[in-house]
Structure 1
C-alpha cells in the first residue's frame, strides 16, 4: 500500500522517517484513526479537528488541514471498492535532539492505510489495576505515547478480553485503551464524563448526539451492576460487552436491547451521513 510521508506518496517499503524523529524517540506526536469503507473515510472532519486540538495541547504547530485532507484523499483512493480499512494519521514533533526538547525541524506528517477486520458484535473486557490520570499533561489528547495502553491491553488479552478498562485516580470509570465505555442502568444510557480523563471519542460524541445517552460520574463498580455495557470507537462502532473480567472473577452478561437499538441507530445514521 502507498503511504504519505511529508508530502510524498511512497510504497510502504520506502515509507520511512528519521531515527531522530521525536515521535519515535520520545513519543512526541498525536494521531487519529478513522474507519474507511470502500474508499470513503467516516467522520473525517471530526478526526482532523481533533488532530488539531491534540497538536495544540502538545504544543505542536497546527497541522495544515488542506495538506492532511489531500494526504488522506490520495491514500484512501487505493482502497476504493476494497471493503473495510483503517486510516491512520500521525503528526509528530519531527527531527529533534535525542532528548525531550524539540528541535527546529518541521513536524512529520504520515498518513497510512491498512485492511481491517469486521469487529464481532460482542466482546469481553478486563478491568486493569492501573489508573488513568485525569489530571495529567496528556489527558484528553490522542497522543502517540501509548505505552500505558500497550501494557494494559496485553494484560486484558492474557485474561481473554479484547479491551482493557481503566478507572481514574479517584476510582471512577474512565475509558478503554482505544475505546469509550457506556453502561445502561435502569433504562438510562450513561458514559463517563470527560472529567474522568477519558478521550473525547468521535463515536462517543455521535452516540451522545444521536441517542438519549448522557454523561455522568460513574464509580468503577458500575461494571458489576449495569444491565448492559457497550464500547464505542472508530473501529468498533457500537460493540456490546458480554463479559467483564476482574482479577479474581468474571461477570457474564447478555447483550441487551438498548445496546442493539443504539448500534442500529448508529449504523443507520452513519450510512446516511459519512461526514457528520
Structure 2
C-alpha cells in the first residue's frame, strides 16, 4: 500500500529514512494508531493530544493539528482505494549526528501508514506473561519507538487470538501487549491505574467515561492477580479492535456476552456512529 511521508504519498518501496534519524538511532519518536469509520478518524483529537505530549517530552517540535491529519488520512485512504483502514501516525525526531544532543528537534519526519482493517474478533483469550512490564523511560509511559518489552513478551504467546497480560516487577497487573485490560467483580469495573506503568489508552478513556455515564461503579488501582479471583467478566480494549471480551483466561472460562462488556460495547458503537453523523 502507499504511505504518506513528509507531505508526499509514495509507494512503500520508494520510502527512505536516513540512518541518522534519531528515531532510528535512539528511539526518539512517537506514534498513534487509530481506525476510520466511513473515512473519519475516530477520537483523533485525543490521539493528537497524546502524541503531542510525547513529542513534548522528547523535544520534538511539530505543528500537527486535527485538520491536517484528517486531510492526510483522506488523501492516503483515497490513494489506497478508498476503504476504511488501520492507520499509524508516526513522528520521528529527524536527522541529527551520532551523539546525545539534548537540544530540540525542529525538523521531524512525519509518516502516515495504512493497512487493511480486519473485522474485530468476537472474543480473545488471555494469559499472564512471565516477562515483567518494564518501567517507563520517564514518569509516564509514552507511545514511543521503545517497544522491545512488548515484542520480547509476544514470544511467550502461542497464537494471535491470545493476549498476554503484563505484571509489574512487584506483581501488580499492568496492561496487555496491545491493549488495556478490565474485569468485573460484584458489579464493579476494575482496571489498572497509571502507577502500574501502563499506557493510558485512548479507548480506555472512552470506556471509563461510558461506564461512569451508565452508572457502572469504576475502580482504578493496583491489583494483583489474586485480587481478581471471583471476577465474572474480563475484557480488553484498543483503538482498532474496540472492546473485546476475554472468554478463556489461564484455563478459566468467561462469558462472551457478559452484561457489563456487552453494555459498554453497545455504547461505544453508538459513539462511533454519532461521530460519523456529526462530521458529515
CA distance in 1, matches of 2:185, 2:226: 12
Show the 5 A alignment for 1:116-135: 116-134=117-135
Q: How far apart are the structure 1 equivalents of 2:154 and 2:102?
A: 30
Q: Aligned pairs, how many?
A: 270
Q: Per-residue deviation at 1:175?
A: 0.6
- 1-structure distance, mates of 2:274, 2:82: 18
User: Which aligned runs of 4 or more in structure 1 are off by greater than 4 angstroms?
Assistant: 99-105
Q: Distance in 2 between matches of 1:181 and 1:224?
A: 15
Q: How far apart, in 2, do the equivalents of 1:94 and 1:114 lie?
A: 24
1:268 equivalent in alignment to 2:273: no
* Alignment check: 8 A CA contact 1:39 1:78 kept: no
Q: TM-score, normalised by structure 1?
A: 0.87
- Whether 1:71 and 2:72 are equivalent positions in the alignment is yes
* Structure 2 residue 194 is the aligned partner of structure 1 residue 220: no
SS of equivalent to 2:155? helix
- Aligned partner of 2:261 in structure 1 is 259
Deviations 1:144-188 (A, max 9, x none): 1111111112212x2675321111233211111211001101111
Tell me the secondary structure at the aligned position of residue 119 of structure 1.
coil
- Residue by residue, what CA displacement relative to the aligned partner does 1:81-138 show, whole Å, maximum 9, x if unpaired? 52x4101100011112345547866111001111021121111112112222446427
SS for the counterpart of 1:266 is helix
Residue in structure 2 matched with residue 176 of structure 1 by the alignment: 176
Relative distance call for 1:223 and 1:26 in structure 2 (3 A) is farther
8 Å CA contact 2:133–2:169 kept in 1: the answer is yes
Match of 1:239 in 2: 244
Measure, in 1, the Cα distance between the counterparts of 2:263 and 2:117.
25
Cα pair 2:35 2:86 within 8 Å, conserved:
yes
Q: Conserved in 2, the CA contact under 8 Å of 1:208 and 1:214?
A: no
Q: Deviation digits for residues 55-88 of structure 1, max 9, x if unmatched? A: 1122322443254444233223446752x41011
| CA distance in 2 between partners of 1:226 and 1:99 (Å) | 50
174 and 15 in structure 1: CA distance in 2 versus 1, 3 angstrom threshold: same
* Mapped partners of 2:60, 2:248: distance in 1: 40
Q: Which runs of 5+ in 2 are unaligned?
A: none
Specify which of 230, 235, 256 is matched with residue 230 of structure 1: 235
1-side partners of 2:134 and 2:63: how far apart? Answer: 27
Give the aligned partner of residue 41 of structure 1: 41
Q: How does 1:139-154 map to 2 (within 5 A)?
A: 139-154=140-155
Distance 1:160 1:153 in 2: 9
CA distance in 1: counterparts of 2:144 and 2:119, whole angstroms = 25
C-alpha separation in 2, matches of 1:265 and 1:222: 28
User: Does the CA-based 8 Å contact 1:124-1:160 persist in structure 2?
Assistant: no
Displacement of 1:219 in angstroms is: 1.6
* Structure 2 SS opposite 1:13: helix
1:20 aligns with 2:25: no
User: For residues 100 and 164 of structure 1, do their structure 2 counterparts lie closer, same or farther at Cα, with a shift above 3 Å needed?
Assistant: farther
Runs of 5+ unmatched residues, structure 1: none
Written as runs of structure 1 = structure 2, the 5 A alignment for 1:25-104 is 25-65=25-65, 67-78=68-79, 82=83, 84-101=84-101
Higher mean C-alpha displacement, 144-153 vs 1-10 = 1-10
